[in-house]
């Protein structure tokens, strides 16, 4: 008889970016939580690029923070370079991106877990799930003990049956020299969970001291640093630069001559790799006419000389990698510290999940992160947070928290995965969001903090601050709407200065600010009553006024969208009995069991005609049940 531990409300399997958010959210919401990792020294590891954020991903971090998650705060504490991307391309796509001190991030996150009330952090490999009558009962560790649990969240990343491939060499392993999790993969299969095989890869790491940076273009950070977290007021820190270089004709020749030795082309790798992350050999084959490719050097941290070679991932054999790297300008004498590798791993089919990230067929079992077919730390963390929240809501007997596509990138991410599935590691992109002018990073708090407060992840104090900020924004917009400036000499001079057309009669500051060439801060020159507002508030006022028409249009579209999202499909619906649904649609709907008509309409293979039939059926059904009641 194995040792039976005391029972937990929530057990999280894996302490990567998804697992950490899941465990913290659950514990903070008051659930008795345990989180397991195979190695306590690899918590919140970044086995690939040492950065957080970027387009759409930066939005995710902001949203995680607005809901009360940890990633943004941890990144703020440990970032060593920060940039805002896309500043010239519009507010919907402004994106924060930061280089992170990888070790510090891990330590800060580990310490946060350790200090969290209700949370038990424990080193153990989970080898089996205990499921009875389609309901999760707990997990078993590699030493044979049993942890009973009301809910379990799988956040196993790329560890399930991990296999690393370097050229013609391959071996079972997790990422970054860690052990794979083979038994759990078998356990999932035994429980009837369908597994897929995905692939990803990471480039080599080089010793900074062996690099000649004079041949590269320096990319320094922005000043001032814009924090991820709405709670971080200011970051003052010395920043470390990244460097840009280009591949050479020689590099391309080496790749071409050795293509037959790449496991991607020799057939050794069977997993499906992401389109947006081709290995360097993929780039050479698919974009044969490109003479050079961009490569970035990113620092791995302050206390290390290790740097990351962004844009140069490969699964070529060691000797070819060696030659490829040495052909790069500035890397002629490079000392390779870790070779690039491709990794294959098991993941599940996300369409087996509900929008709450709970398994459709296994009560109380949730999963989040790369195991769900996504890619990226931010995507993982976002799912982890939602799974943690929903596990607790389930225990409380409350409705799950489901963010829709008009509320958050998190909603887009989960809806895409769960509704459409994916056949490659899924990366968040701004172009995936229909309502991205509304889903801005600057208003993530306005969108989500009230929700975070309601479920108990946002403190009273933070919420009060949030309300104050929103009021300040509203008041300033009102003030600008009311205040008129006359066509005085001063105002005309001001307009001339900014190449803005002159006015003949008085104009509201509000209307003046709508002009693209006039900025909020410049208005100070003609507005002596302008309050001294924090930059975040001034920026928000400016965006809301300048893009008012567009935002209003988007809100209308959102209203339309919501109508279909709010039409719920009863859980006991039997698609077989609906006349007029095509067989393909019946099968897809029966398998995916969408929550609403809106979700149903996004399932591939379900046509608008099928949706019309479904609408008619649901109407008739509700008419019938009303009749029966009456």
Partner 1 sequence: MANIQDTDTIAAVASAIGNAGISIIRISGSEAFNVATKIFKGKGNFNEYSSHTIRYGKIIDPDTNEIIDEVLISKMAAPKTYTTEDVVEINCHGGFITAKRILDLLLRLGVRPAEAGEFTKRAFINGRIDLVQAEAIADLIGSITEKSSKVAVTQLEGRLSQILQRIRKSLVEILAEIEVNLDYPEYDFEEVTINQCVQIINGIIGELKNLIESFDYGKVLREGLNVAIIGKPNAGKSSLLNRLSGKNRAIVTDIPGTTRDVLEEYVNIQGVPIKLLDTAGLRETSDVVEKIGVEKALEVIDLADLILFVLDAHTGFEKEDSDILEKVEDYYSKILFVVNKTDKADEEKLKEIKIKIPEIIEISVLEDYGIDVLEKSILQYVNKAEIDTDNQIIITNARHKKLLVEALDCLKSALSAAEAGMTLDLISMDIKNAAEKIGFITGHEITEEVIMNIFERFCIGK
Helix or strand holding residue 97 (H, E): strand 95-100
Distance separating alpha carbons of residues 232 and 77, to the nearest angstrom: 9
Q: How far is the CB of 147 from partner 1 (least distance, A)?
A: 36
Q: How far is the CB of 227 from partner 1 (least distance, A)?
A: 20
Q: Which residue lies nearer to partner 1 by CB, 275 or 591?
A: 275
Q: How far is the CB of 217 from partner 1 (least distance, A)?
A: 10
Distance separating alpha carbons of residues 43 and 107, to the nearest angstrom: 8
Distance separating alpha carbons of residues 178 and 123, to the nearest angstrom: 14
Cβ–Cβ under 8 Å, residues 318 and 267: no
Q: Which residue lies nearer to partner 1 by CB, 479 or 582?
A: 582
Q: How far is the CB of 116 from partner 1 (least distance, A)?
A: 32
Q: Which residue lies nearer to partner 1 by CB, 95 or 390?
A: 95
Distance separating alpha carbons of residues 486 and 489, to the nearest angstrom: 9
Q: How far is the CB of 593 from partner 1 (least distance, A)?
A: 19
Helix or strand holding residue 625 (H, E): helix 608-629
Cβ–Cβ under 8 Å, residues 168 and 342: no
Block residue for tokens 């038990």: 120
Q: Which residue lies nearer to partner 1 by CB, 55 or 356?
A: 55
Backbone φ, ψ for residue 75 (5° rounding): -65, -40
Cβ–Cβ under 8 Å, residues 290 and 282: no
Q: How far is the CB of 626 from partner 1 (least distance, A)?
A: 14
Spell out the alpha helix ranges (H) of 498-603. 509-513, 535-546, 548-565, 583-592, 597-601
Q: How far is the CB of 171 from partner 1 (least distance, A)?
A: 22
CA triple 467-468-474, angle to 5 deg: 90
Q: Which residue lies nearer to partner 1 by CB, 397 or 608?
A: 608
Q: How far is the CB of 230 from partner 1 (least distance, A)?
A: 22
Distance separating alpha carbons of residues 320 and 333, to the nearest angstrom: 15
Distance separating alpha carbons of residues 547 and 30, to the nearest angstrom: 41
Q: How far is the CB of 350 from partner 1 (least distance, A)?
A: 16
Torsion angle defined by CA atoms of residues 257, 262, 264 and 270, in that order, rounded to the nearest 10 degrees: 150
Cβ–Cβ under 8 Å, residues 105 and 18: no
β-pairing, 33-37 vs 79-85, is: unpaired
Q: Which residue lies nearer to partner 1 by CB, 30 or 274?
A: 274
Backbone φ, ψ for residue 584 (5° rounding): -60, -45
Q: Which residue lies nearer to partner 1 by CB, 372 or 554?
A: 554
Distance separating alpha carbons of residues 620 and 578, to the nearest angstrom: 11
Q: How far is the CB of 44 from partner 1 (least distance, A)?
A: 19
Please report, as ranges, the residues that interact with partner 1 according to CB under 8 A.
Answer: 48-49, 54-56, 85-86, 88-93, 95, 201-203, 275-280, 282-283, 286-287, 290, 293-294, 296, 310-311, 313, 429-432, 434, 436-437, 516-517, 547, 550, 554, 577-582, 604, 607-609, 612-613, 616-617, 620-621, 624
Q: How far is the CB of 258 from partner 1 (least distance, A)?
A: 18
Question: What single DSSP character describes residue 134?
Answer: T
Paired strand residues for 80: none
- Reference 176, options 196, 198, 158; nearest CA is 158
Spell out the alpha helix ranges (H) of 456-531. 460-482, 489-497, 509-513
- Reference 569, options 543, 586, 588, 589; nearest CA is 589
Q: How far is the CB of 104 from partner 1 (least distance, A)?
A: 22
Q: Which residue lies nearer to partner 1 by CB, 87 or 488?
A: 87
Question: What single DSSP character describes residue 567?
Answer: S
Distance separating alpha carbons of residues 175 and 172, to the nearest angstrom: 10
Is the N-terminal amide bond of 224 cis, ω within 30° of 0? yes
Q: How far is the CB of 323 from partner 1 (least distance, A)?
A: 20
3-state secondary structure 485-498: ECCCHHHHHHHHHC
Q: Which residue lies nearer to partner 1 by CB, 64 or 93?
A: 93
Q: Which residue lies nearer to partner 1 by CB, 198 or 359?
A: 198
Backbone φ, ψ for residue 199 (5° rounding): -135, 145
Q: Which residue lies nearer to partner 1 by CB, 145 or 423?
A: 423
Q: Which residue lies nearer to partner 1 by CB, 474 or 623?
A: 623
Burial of 324 (0-12, 13-18, 19+ CB in 10 A): buried
Q: Which residue lies nearer to partner 1 by CB, 202 or 374?
A: 202
Q: How far is the CB of 562 from partner 1 (least distance, A)?
A: 17
Q: Which residue lies nearer to partner 1 by CB, 49 or 443?
A: 49
Q: How far is the CB of 550 from partner 1 (least distance, A)?
A: 5
Q: Which residue lies nearer to partner 1 by CB, 230 or 575?
A: 575
Q: At 179, is the secondary structure helix, strand, or coil?
A: coil
The helix-helix angle for 17-28 and 377-396 (nearest 10°) equals 30
Q: How far is the CB of 285 from partner 1 (least distance, A)?
A: 11
Residue 194, number of CB atoms within 10 A of its CB = 10
Residues 6+ apart with CB under 8 A from 352: 193, 194, 359, 360, 361
Q: Which residue lies nearer to partner 1 by CB, 3 or 287?
A: 287
């Amino acid at each position: 008889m194995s040792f039976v531990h005391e029972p937990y409300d929530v057990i999280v399997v894996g302490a990567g970016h998804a697992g950490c958010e899941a465990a913290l959210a659950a514990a903070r919401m008051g659930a008795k939580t345990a989180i397991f990792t195979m190695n306590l020294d690899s918590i919140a590891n970044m086995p690939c690029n040492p950065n957080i954020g970027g387009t759409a991903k930066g939005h995710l971090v902001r949203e995680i923070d607005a809901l009360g998650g940890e990633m943004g705060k941890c990144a703020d504490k440990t970032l060593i370079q920060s940039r805002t991307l896309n500043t010239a391309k519009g507010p919907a796509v402004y994106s924060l991106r930061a280089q992170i001190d990888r070790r510090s991030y891990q330590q800060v996150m580990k310490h946060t877990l350790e200090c969290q009330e209700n949370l038990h952090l424990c080193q153990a490999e989970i080898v089996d799930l205990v499921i009875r009558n389609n309901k999760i009962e707990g997990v078993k560790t590699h030493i044979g003990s049993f942890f009973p649990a009301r809910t379990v969240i799988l956040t196993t990343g790329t560890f399930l049956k991990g296999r690393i491939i370097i050229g013609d060499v391959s071996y079972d392993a997790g990422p970054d020299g860690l052990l794979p999790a083979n038994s759990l993969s078998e356990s999932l299969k035994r429980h009837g969970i369908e597994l897929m095989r995905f692939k990803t890869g990471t480039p080599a790491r080089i010793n900074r001291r062996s690099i000649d940076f004079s041949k590269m273009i320096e990319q320094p950070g922005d000043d001032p640093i814009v924090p991820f977290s709405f709670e971080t007021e200011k970051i003052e820190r010395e920043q470390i630069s990244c460097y840009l270089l280009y591949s050479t004709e020689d590099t391309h020749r080496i790749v071409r001559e050795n293509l037959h030795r790449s496991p991607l082309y020799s057939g050794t790798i069977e997993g499906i790799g992401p389109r947006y992350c081709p290995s360097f050999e993929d780039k050479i084959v698919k974009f044969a006419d490109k003479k050079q490719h961009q490569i970035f050097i990113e620092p791995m941290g302050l206390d290390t000389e290790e740097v990351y070679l962004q844009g140069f991932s490969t699964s070529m054999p060691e000797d070819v990698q060696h030659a490829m790297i040495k052909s790069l300008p500035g890397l002629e004498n490079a000392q390779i510290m870790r070779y690039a590798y491709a990794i294959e791993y098991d993941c599940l089919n996300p369409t087996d999940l509900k929008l709450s990230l709970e398994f459709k067929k296994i009560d109380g079992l949730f999963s989040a992160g790369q195991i769900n077919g996504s890619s990226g730390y931010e995507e993982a963390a976002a799912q982890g947070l939602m799974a943690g929240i929903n596990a607790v809501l389930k225990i409380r007997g409350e409705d799950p928290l489901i963010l829709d596509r008009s509320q958050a990138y998190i909603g887009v991410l989960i809806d895409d995965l769960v509704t459409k599935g994916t056949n490659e590691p899924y990366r968040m992109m701004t172009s995936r969001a229909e309502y991205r002018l509304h889903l801005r990073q600057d208003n993530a708090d306005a969108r989500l903090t009230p929700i975070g407060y309601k479920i108990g992840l946002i403190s009273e104090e933070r919420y009060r601050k949030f309300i104050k900020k929103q009021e300040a924004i509203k008041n300033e917009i009102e003030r600008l709407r009311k205040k008129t400036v006359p066509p005085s000499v001063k105002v005309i001079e001001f307009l001339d200065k900014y190449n803005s057309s002159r006015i003949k009669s008085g104009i509201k500051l509000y209307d003046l600010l709508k002009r693209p060439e006039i900025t909020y801060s410049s208005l100070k020159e003609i507005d002596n009553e302008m309050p001294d507002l924090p930059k975040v508030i001034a920026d928000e006022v400016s965006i809301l006024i300048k893009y008012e028409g567009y935002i209003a249009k988007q809100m209308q579209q959102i209203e339309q969208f919501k109508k279909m999202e709010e039409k719920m499909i009863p859980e006991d619906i039997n698609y077989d009995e609906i006349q007029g649904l095509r067989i393909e649609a019946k099968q897809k709907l029966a398998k995916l069991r969408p929550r609403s008509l809106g979700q149903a309409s996004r399932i591939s293979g379900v046509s608008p005609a099928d949706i019309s039939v479904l609408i008619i059926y649901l109407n008739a059904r509700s008419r019938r049940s009303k009749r029966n009641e009456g």
